[in-house]
Amino acid sequence: MIGFERQRQMFAAQFEPRGAGFVYRRHSVGEPIPVSAVQRNRYVAAFEKFTRQGFWAMVAGALIMLAGLVAYSFATGTQVPDRVFYVAFGAMVVVYVIAYQRVWNLPMRELRGAGSPPNIAP
C-alpha cells in the first residue's frame, strides 16, 4: 500500500550480505560498514515502522489541521487566506521529510566511526 514495501526494499538494499552478517553502505554506494543480522533487522524494522506510522500521522495531522482551519473560518465568519493553508501544509511536509531523512540515515549516524576492516572490498 502506498509504496511502503518498495520503500522498505530500497532501505534494506543498503545492507549487502557478507559472510555471516551484512555490510551497510549509505545509499548503497558508501563505504562498507560491517553489521550483524540483528542490527540490520533492527534498522529495517525501525524504518518500516516509521514509514507506516509517519504516513498515517501525516494524514491525521492534515485532517486535524484542515478541520481546525475550517472551524476557525466558521467561528470568525472569515475566509482563511490561502497562504495560511500553504504554509501550514508545507510546514507539515517539511517536518515529515526531515524525519524521513533522519530515519533513513539512522544506521550511518549510529555506525559512524565504526569503520570498515581493510579486508572488505567495495
Share of the chain above pLDDT 90, in %: 72
Q: How confident is the model at residue 17 (pLDDT cuts 50, 70, 90)?
A: very high
Q: Check residue 115 and give its pLDDT.
A: 52
Q: How confident is the model at residue 121 (pLDDT cuts 50, 70, 90)?
A: very low
Could you give the count of Cα atoms lying within 13 Å of 84 in the half-sphere of its Cβ? 11
Cell of 40: 540490520
Q: How confident is the model at residue 4 (pLDDT cuts 50, 70, 90)?
A: confident
Average pLDDT, the chain: 88
Evaluate if residue 92 carries a pLDDT over 50: yes
Q: Check residue 86 and give its pLDDT.
A: 93
Instruction: Provide DSSP, 41-93.
Output: HHHHHHHHHHHHHHHHHHHHHHHHHHHHHHHHHHHHTSPPPHHHHHHHHHHHH
Of residues 118 and 93, more confidence is placed in: 93
Exposure b/e, 75-99, CB count within 10 A at least 16 = b: eeeeeeeeeeeeebbeeeeeeeeee
Nearest to 56 by CA among 89, 106, 96, 86: 96
The mean-pLDDT minimum among 48-57, 73-82, 95-104, 111-120 falls in 111-120
Q: Check residue 112 and give its pLDDT.
A: 80
